[in-house]
Structures are given as C-alpha cells and as structure tokens.
Amino acid sequence: MALIYTWYGHGTSGLDIDGSKVLVDPYFTDNPAASAKPNEIEADYILITHGHGDHVGDAVSIAKRTGASVVTNFEIATWFQNQGVEAHAQHLGGGHQYPFGYVKLTLALHGSALPDGSDGGNPCGFLVTTSGHQKIYLAGDTGLFGDMSLIGEEGLDLAVIPIGDNYTMGPDDALRAVKLLQAKHVIPVHHSTWELIEQDADAWAGRVRSETQTEPHVLQPGESFTL
Ligand code: NI
Ligand code: MN
C-alpha cells in the first residue's frame, strides 16, 4: 500500500493513500509559503484540525469544486454544512472508518475560533490508520502535552508536527514531542511561513537525529515523502 505525504507549506498537508486524496488544513490563497494554487488541488476528503483562517483556508471552495467531504469536529462540521459543504462530524477521542482508513480525533492544545467569529469547538489533531495499516499522526496546531505518549503507544509510522513557535510548539518542545511520540519518521511543519515563525528546520532535524531514534525529513513546500 503506497502512502505519499506532501507538504504544501505552513500547516497544509496532502496524503495520497492508494490513490485516495486526503487534504489536511488546505491554506493556499493567502499563504505566502504555498506551493500550489487551490484550483490545482484534488481532494476526496478534507480534514480540518481547527477553525483558524490559516487552516480552514480554501476548504469551502475546494470542497465545492471537488465534491470532497470534510472531516472535523462537530462545531466546524456544522459551519461547513451551513455553507452547503458535505461534512462528517466527529469529536475528540472518537474514530470513524472511511474508505481510505480509520480517522481518530486527538487532543490539541490551541484555539479554534472560525474566521467569521463562530465557535469552532475544541481544536484537534488526527491519527489516521490507513487501510494498509500505516499510522500517521498529524498534530495540527498544538503546544506540547504529556498525553502525546499515549498517541505514541499506537505505534506511529509518521508524525507531522509544528515547530514554528509563537502559535505552537517551538523547536525545543517539538523535540520533546518526538521523544514522546516515538514515530519512525517525523516531518516538521507550521514553520517559516512568516518571519514570526521562521525556524531552522535542518538544525532541528540534526537534533532529532542525534537525540532520538526517529528519522526526520525536512521538506520544502511542494515536496513529498513516500512512506
Ligand atoms: Ni491555529
Ligand atoms: Mn495555524
């Protein structure tokens, strides 16, 4: 079973799971780091971690053009449904089986107000178990929390975590997160979009390599990693 992870810049990820296109937090139009235009992106499902504008991004227009279903928490799912977008509501700790795999919503320490000020409920991350039994953890925007070790107990093949600081974990806490998650591979995201969250991802990867058993992969926007 092939799994291709693509980083589109900032917190925007794409998973190609045996041909199923799963887009996460599609932020292209106003994203200075974006490697693609929203109308170039294909999607079968769109996963949304929280309500902030840099994560909801272009999700409404991409969902309407592609017919993709949104997967997110109840509050954000309702917000999408009210705009005519098909959405499946889950909530923290709950999992659901989709054709491409099983998606569980995980804890995230962050905010979640939607762009129009609506209540976006609690932010989340995603633990995706593909139909080929690969486990990918997409942390979303979050601070460090000790229960990352519980997520790590699931046996992660890949963790995608923020390192940008200011809004999320910075490099030091992200390194601690790697130690709790114990994934086989880690990809740093949510950094260097703007000066405020500029980070030396290669230097961070060097620390991951020397202090953990996890293999880091530093991508440029538009680059992919095949698991
Ligand atoms: Ni955010
Ligand atoms: Mn963000």
For residue 116, the model assigns a pLDDT of 98
Residue 227 falls within a domain, yes or no? no
For residue 192, the model assigns a pLDDT of 97
Ligand 2 centroid to Cα of residue 56, in Å, is: 10
For residue 202, the model assigns a pLDDT of 98
For residue 2, the model assigns a pLDDT of 84
What CATH number does the domain containing 168 carry?
3.60.15.10
Which ligand has the nearest atom to the CA of 162?
2
Q: How many residues does the chain have?
A: 227
The residues whose Cβ lies within 5 A of ligand 2, an ion, are 54, 141
Question: C-alpha distances in angstroms, 197 versus 127, 140, 193, 200?
Answer: 25, 15, 7, 10
Residue 173 falls within a domain, yes or no? yes
Ligand 2 centroid to Cα of residue 49, in Å, is: 9
Q: How many CB atoms lie within 10 A of CB 140?
A: 31
Residue 28 falls within a domain, yes or no? yes
Q: What is the pTM of this model?
A: 0.98
For the chain, which ranges sit under pLDDT 50?
A: none
For residue 109, the model assigns a pLDDT of 98
Residue 19 falls within a domain, yes or no? yes
Ligand 2 centroid to Cα of residue 43, in Å, is: 21
For residue 1, the model assigns a pLDDT of 67
Hunting for tokens 């589109």 — which residue is that?
Answer: 8
Print the domain residue range for 15: 3-217
CB 103 within 8 A of CB 127: yes
Which ligand has the nearest atom to the CA of 164?
2
Ligand 2 centroid to Cα of residue 167, in Å, is: 7
For residue 159, the model assigns a pLDDT of 98
Residue 225 falls within a domain, yes or no? no
Ligand 2 centroid to Cα of residue 203, in Å, is: 22
Ligand 1 centroid to Cα of residue 132, in Å, is: 30
Which ligand has the nearest atom to the CA of 197?
2
Ligand 2 centroid to Cα of residue 2, in Å, is: 28
Q: How far apart are CA 16 and CA 165, in angstroms?
A: 28
Which ligand has the nearest atom to the CA of 108?
1
Residue 81 falls within a domain, yes or no? yes
Q: How far apart are CA 140 and CA 126, in angstroms?
A: 8
Residue 226 falls within a domain, yes or no? no
Ligand 1 centroid to Cα of residue 141, in Å, is: 5
Q: How far apart are CA 27 and CA 34, in angstroms?
A: 8
Ligand 1 centroid to Cα of residue 1, in Å, is: 32
Question: C-alpha distances in angstroms, 167 versus 32, 48, 111, 112, 113?
Answer: 17, 17, 10, 12, 14
Q: How far apart are CA 218 and CA 203, in angstroms?
A: 10
Ligand 2 centroid to Cα of residue 1, in Å, is: 31
Number of domains composing the chain: 1
For residue 190, the model assigns a pLDDT of 98
